[in-house]
Amino acid sequence: MRAFLFSCSLAKIIMMMALLGIPFKPNAMKKLMIFTCIILVHTLSAWTQTSIIIKLGATPRSGSFKHYMIVNRNNPREEFKFSTLQVKPQFYAGVSARLQMRTPFFLEAGMTYTEKTSLYQVNYRMPTETNPAEMVMSEKEKILLLPVNIGVSLGKIDITSGLSAMKTLTKAKELTHLQGFHQDDNAIRVGWQMGARYAIGRTMLGIEYQGTLNREGQGMYVNKQSLEQNNVPGNFVFSVQFGF
């Protein structure tokens, strides 16, 4: 239990460092560990009631995006329309610690793993053998989320809201086949979430909306032209949770 609470406190501090733009250096990490230990001791003395929650969830497929952009306008032979076609269903698995504050409020922090597959559509203005009229390219990501929530209990119903730090662990993308494609390094992104769940004994049924502060295509470029679209992605996550 103490080791898990330590990791959750560390997750909260890392997210705060990401928000403040503090670099992760070895010496800084040692100081961070010491500081987190202090936070942990304070947490254990301030909250005596703790519990562990295991979460399994899924989100439906999202599609029918209306936003697109024209790329390579200054080169008609390479000009194409770029858009997000759909995002396939995602599955989530995570664990978190619930720290009871003064009733009815509580804090939750933990980590969640998911895999995301996005499909992009490319339509060339002047098709060739190497650049067909229509292409569908995929991008697969393995993502770690570090959510921190504050919640309120209303009988058998919990309502939560908070922020998340999101880190892409690995990424496989077919967009690299586009001539002149470049993508920034996998930096830590910031998201937010709000949800509710209903308790049936130790089992809880939940629904949560997860959003991000980054637009679709942010950090991707073709010949130095940004592929950022006027679309901020978000999705509903339906979950089954188990408290211990």
Residue 100: helix, strand or coil by DSSP? strand
pTM above 0.95, yes or no: no
pLDDT for 104-123, tens place per residue?
999 999 999 999 999 999 99
**Residue span of the structural domain in which 191 resides:** 49-243
Q: Count CB-CB contacts under 10 A for residue 2.
A: 8
Q: Is residue 216 part of a domain?
A: yes
Question: For position 19, what pLDDT does the model report?
Answer: 47
Q: Is residue 202 part of a domain?
A: yes
Q: Is residue 72 part of a domain?
A: yes
Q: For the chain, give the number of residues.
A: 244
Q: Is residue 34 part of a domain?
A: no
Question: For position 2, what pLDDT does the model report?
Answer: 45
What CATH number did the domain enclosing 113 receive? Answer: 2.40.160.20
Give CA–CA dist 97/8, Å, rounded: 7
Give CA–CA dist 77/90, Å, rounded: 37
pLDDT for 181-211, tens place per residue?
988 877 788 999 999 999 999 999 999 999 9
Q: Is residue 177 part of a domain?
A: yes
Across the chain, where does the E strand assignment appear?
50-59, 62-63, 68-71, 80-87, 90-100, 105-124, 134-154, 157-173, 181-183, 189-200, 203-212, 220-222, 225-226, 234-243
Domain count across the chain: 1
Give CA–CA dist 193/124, Å, rounded: 37
Q: Which residue ranges of the chain lie beneath pLDDT 50?
A: 1-7, 9-11, 13-14, 18-20, 22, 24, 26, 45, 47
Q: Is residue 8 part of a domain?
A: no
Question: For position 4, what pLDDT does the model report?
Answer: 45
Three-state secondary structure of 138-196: EEEEEEEEEEEEEEEEECCEEEEEEEEEEEEEEEEECHHHCCCEEECCCCCEEEEEEEE
Question: For position 112, what pLDDT does the model report?
Answer: 96
